[in-house]
Amino acid sequence: MKKKSTPKLNLNLAERKNLRKAKIKISEILDLAADELEVILDVSSDRVKTLFALAEFQTVPSVGIKFAEDLIFLGYHSLEELKLKDGAKLLEEYERKKGHWTDPCVEDQFRLIVDFARNPKITKNWWDYTEARKKYRAENGYPKDRPTNAWHEVIPIKWKARK
């Protein structure tokens, strides 16, 4: 698999130390077998699954760690799992699970990731899907059960505790 750059991974100090000890660069993670990485990092298979997912999702043009984490939040761990999905429906699922609606560009990212999963040779970025999203939403709107609060209106729990 061709890597666009070194993925960002939320590795703890022990995991970083174990990678250095094994002389493995973060950019080489996808080249390893899961059981091999499990031993090198001394972590669970679930942790390796998450790290592989974060790294694989970031091979998609203009996808960073935050969106990769969002895909994992929805329960996806590979591009293969996204091939038969619909970007608009993924956004709707995401917003229901988050409990608030989000910036429209997030739908563009869902559209990109599905398109890339189907055709890894594409070189589009998420903003290349804006027009298609606008057309789709003008024709179809949003579901009736879409959350009413916006992402910028939601106060993070850590801030609520300070009040």
* Predicted confidence (pLDDT) per residue in 20-60, tens digit: 999 999 999 999 999 999 999 999 999 999 999 999 999 99
Q: Is the pLDDT of residue 67 over 90?
A: yes
Nearest to 62 by CA among 125, 129, 117: 125
**CA torsion angle for 78, 82, 83, 88 (degrees, to 10)?**
-160
pLDDT of residue 157: 55
Instruction: Tell me the per-residue pLDDT of 94-112, one tens digit each, with 9 for 90 and over.
Output: 999 999 999 999 999 999 9
pTM for the whole thing? 0.86
